[in-house]
Amino acid sequence: MDLGKRPGNLITASNSKLYMDLKDIIREQALPFLPAKSLFRFLAVCRDWMLHISTPSFHHNQSLCCRGISGLFCQTPENPPVFVPIHPESCGVPDPSLSFLPEPVVIRASSNGLLCCQGLDEDRYYYLCNPVTKQWKKLPKPTASHGSKPALVVIFEPSLLNSVPEYKLICAFESTDFDDATEFEIYSSKNNSWNVSKAICFRDEKADLGSGVHVNGVVYWPVESDHILSFDLTKHRSKLLDSLTAGIDCLLGTFDARLCKVYILGDEVFVNVFKVLNMHKITWDESEMWEDTLVLDPDNTFIPLDDDYIDTRAVAVSRDILVVVCDNEFYCYGFEDHKTNTLNQPEPAESEFYYEICVPYVNSLVSL
């Protein structure tokens, strides 16, 4: 009788071992790639998962693995920010209005889960925060005047070699010492201070800067006068790149870890990828600097690109998706499946206002 039970016992033990191995694989290999909202749900799976997800080492690992755009923080003039998720079931934040901060703020920039805001009080302090964990830090006052709409870029690149998050902010601002010139001030979390770079970029005329992006040690901003302003963080050098299809309405982003620009021409959306690896060795014309990667036309999507009466802007781009806003309606286009989804978002507090600020955001557990 005992011999007859042994095969069943062996099978049960084997299945149990297989289950344990699969459970460990999911916990160690799959969980770090999930956005924060999903992970908070999984805290209730079991005590082991709750303890594992709550550790600082897991938070660091998740910030390394979860890098896709989860949604956008958007804001109309004089109203609190709102969050527009790309996948509402898995991505979200508990307090999109950021009421946990000590004062009302305006969204300025973000990077891999860190959000930079600026206070609306007289002092106009900068704040860095994680909207998921509600951790925040008030930054010291810059030494230079950054103007009413600072061209800020947050630089946070999680590293396997450093479990303590280190980040920088860089602001391009109008020089007060030279006409038609741009200077740069950099904040470093390592020493908790601002420093004005010696680099100065001279231009033919004053022009506003659009939303900037950091790619491989260089920061880029689209310029209203159809140029792209670049700043090398290592060499502290600046260069003005010609780009006939840039301008302040051009969106800069990353595509396959390279700089890309997205612009709307007529009823088509173009995505161009930068060919040049070293911006200081650029000696050829614009046609040799960029390669046409993707073209989105009205026949491939229901985004109203061909409607001349609708204000259309590209607001987020990655290797997988492109997000376009048309009169406060958000559309997400997938480059792989060629499908378009309409994103749900709260109605603006005032119907005549549009979402002037749209900042891509990654749903990360990164700690400050």
**CATH number of the domain that 113 lies in?**
2.120.10.80
Taking the C-alpha atoms of residue 52 and residue 43, their distance in angstroms, rounded to an integer, is 9
Q: Do 209 and 353 share a domain, yes or no?
A: yes
Does residue 305 share a domain with residue 225?
yes
| Residue 284's pLDDT band (cuts 50, 70, 90) | very low
* 51 and 190 part of one domain: no
**pLDDT score of 22:** 74
Residue 367 lies in a domain: no
Work out the pLDDT band at 6, boundaries 50, 70, 90.
Answer: very low
Judge contact between 62 and 8, C-beta under 8 A.
Answer: no
Q: Are residues 193 and 287 in the same domain?
A: yes
How far apart are the C-alpha atoms of 230 and 241, rounded to whole Å? Answer: 7
Cα dist. 162→16, 23, 78, 157 in Å?
A: 37, 28, 39, 10
Do residues 358 and 109 lie in contact, with contact meaning Cβ atoms separated by under 8 Å?
A: no
Q: Which residues, in sequence order, are CB contacts of 254 under 8 Å at separation 6+?
A: 213, 215, 260, 317, 318, 319
For the chain, how far is it from start to end, CA to CA, in angstroms?
62
pLDDT for residue 10:
46
Residue 15 lies inside a defined structural domain of this protein: yes
| Residue 269 sits in the same domain as residue 178 | yes
φ/ψ (deg, to 5) at 323: -110, 130
155-177 average pLDDT score: 87
Q: Are both 298 and 343 inside the same structural domain?
A: yes
- Would you say 158 and 166 are in contact if contact means Cβ atoms under 8 Å apart? no
pLDDT tens for residues 300-340?
899 998 887 788 899 999 989 999 998 889 999 998 889 99
Does 62 map to a domain? no
Residue with tokens 């010492």: 177
Please indicate, yes or no, if residue 201 is contained in any of the structural domains. yes
Give the integer Cα–Cα distance in Å for 79 and 98: 12
Asked whether the predicted pLDDT for residue 246 surpasses 70, the reply is: no
Which amino acid makes up residue 249? D
Number of domains in the chain: 2
286 pLDDT band, cuts 50/70/90, is: low
Q: Give the end of a domain, one of 28, 57, 86.
A: 57
244 assigned to some structural domain:
yes
Burial of 160 (0-12, 13-18, 19+ CB in 10 A): exposed
Q: With beta carbons less than 8 A apart as the criterion, state whether 290 and 271 touch.
A: no
Asked whether residue 182 falls in the same domain as residue 134, the answer is yes
Same-domain pairing of 51 and 189? no
What is the structure's pLDDT at 298? 84
18/74 same-domain check: no
Q: Is residue 242 part of a domain?
A: yes
Please, are residues 233 and 218 in contact by the beta-carbon 8 Å criterion? yes
* CB burial string 319-350: b at 16+ within 10 A, e below: eebbbbbeeeebbbbebeeeebeebebeebee
Domain boundary among 10, 26, 57: 57
Residue percentage of the chain with pLDDT more than 70: 87
What digits encode the pLDDT tens for the residues 129-146? Answer: 999 999 999 999 999 999
Q: Each residue of 194-240: pLDDT tens digit?
A: 999 999 998 766 778 889 999 989 999 998 867 889 999 999 999 88
Q: Is the domain of 8 the same as that of 72?
A: no
The reply to whether 248 and 134 lie within a common domain is yes
CA distance 239 to 218: 11
Instruction: Please name the residue that has the structure tokens 């982003």.
Output: 253
pLDDT tens, position by position, 59-108: 888 888 888 899 999 998 888 999 999 988 888 899 999 999 999 999 99
Q: Is residue 366 part of a domain?
A: no
Q: Name the domain boundary from 14, 37, 57.
A: 57
Higher pLDDT, 50 or 109: 109
Length reported for the chain: 368
Residue 344 lies in a domain: yes
Residue 122 CB coordination number (10 Å): 6
3-state secondary structure 267-302: CEEEEEEECCCCHHHCCCCHHHCEEEEEEECHHHCC
Per the structure, the complete domain to which residue 134 belongs is given by: 67-361
Pairing mode, if any, of strands 237-242 and 251-255?
unpaired
Q: Are 73 and 132 within one domain?
A: yes
